[in-house]
Amino acid sequence: MKEIKIILTTLAISVCYGIIHDLITAHLCIEYFTIGHPKVIESTSPILIALVWGCIATWWFGLLMGILVAAFNYMGSYPSLEYKLIIRLILRLICWMFALAIVAGLIGYLLAELEVIYLVPRLGNQIDDVRHSRFLAVGWMHVTSYLIALIGTFVICFIIFRKRGQQ
């Protein structure tokens, strides 16, 4: 039952992060969702789109992360770590994801403004030129969040493995 608690908590934290992240990015550039993604709802409301995409884009990763973290915490003969410690590690990862996503968004925006990077014509032709930099910034924010989540999940699993072996 403890494993399920970690899995469900990780899933909930991931979806909350996805919604908050998408509330910010949908307000920065709604076109990222309405043009850059398949249409899943008939709306251009940044709030509705953030709620829907925040869930769709993160539930699966939260579930996978929760399963991996729970498996590393409970498999084998070493004593498992406390639930609170595991959740603190996940919340710390979420903070890093958010901070690095903001940094990546700023870098993406600046590179687009300096015309170092640009939208591919398929997207660029559908979006007003003044919105290209925002679109790219939002894209960089999303990619960074996924990348840090992936790396961070492996780091958390390693920390759990190491700490369990030291008990």
- pLDDT one digit per residue (tens) for the chain, 167 residues: 889 999 999 999 999 999 999 999 999 999 999 999 999 999 999 999 999 999 999 999 999 999 999 999 999 889 999 999 999 999 999 999 999 999 999 999 999 999 999 999 888 889 988 899 999 999 999 999 999 999 999 999 999 999 998 87
Contact present, 137 and 45 (Cβ < 8 Å): no
pLDDT confidence of residue 160:
96
pLDDT confidence of residue 8:
97
pLDDT confidence of residue 1:
82
pLDDT confidence of residue 166:
85
Q: Is 94 helix (H, G, I), strand (E, B) or coil?
A: helix
Contact present, 109 and 103 (Cβ < 8 Å): no
pTM: predicted TM-score of the whole model, two decimal places = 0.93
Alpha helices in the chain (DSSP H): 2-28, 31-34, 46-56, 59-74, 83-113, 121-124, 132-166
pLDDT confidence of residue 109:
98
pLDDT confidence of residue 5:
96
Other C-beta atoms lying within 10 Å of the C-beta of residue 116: 9
